[in-house]
Amino acid sequence: MQDIIIADNLEQSLAEAVGKVEHDRLFVLTDTTTRELCWPVVQDYSVMKEATMITIPPTDEGKTLETLASVWTSLQQGGATRHSLMVNLGGGMVTDLGGFAASTFKRGMAYINIPTTLLSQVDASVGGKTGINFGGLKNEIGVFNCARSVILSSAFLRTLDHENLLSGYAEMLKHGLLSSKENWAELLTFDIADPDYDTLQALVAKSVAIKEQIVTEDPTEKGIRKALNFGHTAGHAIESLALKEGRTVLHGYAVAWGLLMELYLSARKCGFPAKEMHQMEAYIKEHYGKFLYECKHYDTLCDFMAHDKKNQGGNINFTLLGGIGDIRINQTATQDEIEEMLDYYRES
């Protein structure tokens, strides 16, 4: 498994992580945004002096086969071998695509993730999932392959705007729902509008520990790791619809809306308490607003859910909750139940 490092001293942690991996060449992957905002944080570290930079376009729309090929080309032209090392410095798009590029170049070279957004710190960079979007579907092509190290530092969180903080916080809310009432309540009461970054880093450490425990039990998503998909079957469908219609939304916002939908389905099918569902509804409406769609979108949303990688035997597969911490994987829902869920969200 990968080494998760909560960095109090980023320069020392990065030097130690790079030093642990024998390598002939060092590459750093950024996107244009993290090249400008995050590379200056580490560029003067002695361990980075010999690094070759590779920079790709930002945002999830750049997570394509064409961008992947451009990274492979840069590695090839830079003399990379299977004994080289790549540091992915960026958000989830960079760690997903960079991890996939490293995992496939020369049949696999080592990589380290330095996630620079809250979303990538608690989600994308941890757990070994890599990949790109393909054919209009998110993360359609990829492999499971863990980074050698994942370095988490609150230094990068200070570069984020409020919307990107909220985007990552949605995944933390999911981890809270999967774990315990205490963790969930702590997240609801934390002041995300005016965050104390030391407290936030401690909350990130808890959130990552929850994910790591699940991933360690089930590294390739045969069983309990499916718990981490809570909110994502509906959330990915919203994200795909938004992308299709040219009104792109941040991943965490789609997850927040998906959490609300799947909590309704959890209440309907598994007895999740109405009181806690309404608490989450109030929190998500206050912080994330609402994604608008109409009845005419139901078939498209259901079609996107039907393409989800978790599905088996033609059934749309959900992770649901019987209560906070009471995880129910491999739950299915009828077309009528899914449309009822979509009605609930649209009308709430």
**Do 151 and 250 fall into the same domain?**
no
Average pLDDT score over residue span 69-80: 98
* Full residue range of the structural domain in which residue 61 is found: 3-160
**Do 242 and 122 fall into the same domain?**
no
Average pLDDT score over residue span 240-261: 94
Distance CA 236, CA 164 (A): 17
Average pLDDT score over residue span 328-341: 94
pLDDT band with cut points at 50, 70 and 90 for residue 311: confident
**Do 30 and 168 fall into the same domain?**
no
**Do 87 and 175 fall into the same domain?**
no
Q: In this structure, what CATH number is given to the domain that contains residue 268? A: 1.20.1090.10
**Do 103 and 174 fall into the same domain?**
no
Nearest Cα neighbor of 332 from 303, 293, 305, 300 is: 305
**Do 149 and 216 fall into the same domain?**
no
**Do 314 and 194 fall into the same domain?**
yes
Count of domains forming the chain: 2
Lowest mean pLDDT among 69-78, 101-110, 302-311, 313-322: 302-311
pLDDT in tens, 160-190: 899 999 999 999 999 999 999 999 999 999 9
In degrees, rounded to 5, the angle at the alpha carbon of residue 79 between the alpha carbons of residues 133 and 102 is: 30
Q: In this structure, what CATH number is given to the domain that contains residue 30? A: 3.40.50.1970
Among residues 134, 160, 186, which one ends one of the domains? 160
**Do 136 and 175 fall into the same domain?**
no
**Do 200 and 264 fall into the same domain?**
yes
pLDDT in tens, 116-172: 999 999 987 788 899 999 998 888 999 999 999 999 998 899 888 999 999 999 999
**Do 138 and 181 fall into the same domain?**
no
pLDDT tops 70 at residue 309: no
Q: Give me the pLDDT at residue 53, please.
A: 98
Question: What is the reported pTM?
Answer: 0.86
Among residues 160, 182, 209, which one ends one of the domains? 160
Q: How many residues does the chain have?
A: 348
**Do 201 and 133 fall into the same domain?**
no
**Do 156 and 169 fall into the same domain?**
no
Among residues 116, 143, 160, which one ends one of the domains? 160
